[in-house]
Amino acid sequence: MSKQPRKIGIIICDRYRNCAGGKCLRALKNREGAFNIYKNQEVELVGYTTCGGCPGGNIEYCIGEMKKNGVEVVHLATGMVVGYPPCPYIDYFRRFIKQKYDVDVVIGTHPIPQNYYVTHQALGTWNSPEWKEKIKYVLTDEQTRLKYN
C-alpha cells in the first residue's frame, strides 16, 4: 500500500438520503466494486453527502467543502446508476466536477446488487455502449452482486 492515502468523497442520490452508507463503506473496506481501483493503496473518506435532489443543486457546493478536506476523487454512488430511473444528470455532474473543481470522478461505489441487475437487464437500461462504460467498475460477478442485495 502507498504511504499517502487517496482522499475520496462519495455523493449519493438524494432518493437514498437516509442511507447510512453500509454498502458503500463495506465495498470501500473490501475494495469491491468501483473501490477495486484502490486495491493496492490506502484511502481516506473525506466527504459523504447527497446530490441535493434533482437537478443536483448540492453538487455546486459540496465539492468545494470536500476540497477543503483534500478530496482527490469523487465517487458518484452506485445508487445513481441502479435507481429507477438512473440519474439523468450523471454525465453533467462528472463534467461539472472535473471542470469547476479539477477533481477526478468515478461512477460507482459498491457492486450493483443482483436484484437491481436482474431488473435493469430486463429493462435493457444498460445496453448502450455509454451505459456499459458507466457501470464498468460496479458490474461484478453474480456471487459478488448477491452479497450486495
- Whether the full predicted model's pTM is greater than 0.85, yes or no, is yes
The CA R_g of the chain, rounded to the nearest whole Å, is: 14
**How is residue 117 written as a grid cell?**
441487475
- 13, 49 in Cβ contact below 8 A? no
What is the domain partition of the chain in residue ranges?
6-147
Q: Average the pLDDT over 70-76 and give the result.
A: 98
Condensed to tens digits (0 to 9), the pLDDT of residues 54-69 reads 999 999 999 999 999 9
Q: What is the pLDDT of residue 3?
A: 77
Q: Which CATH class is domain 6-147?
A: alpha beta
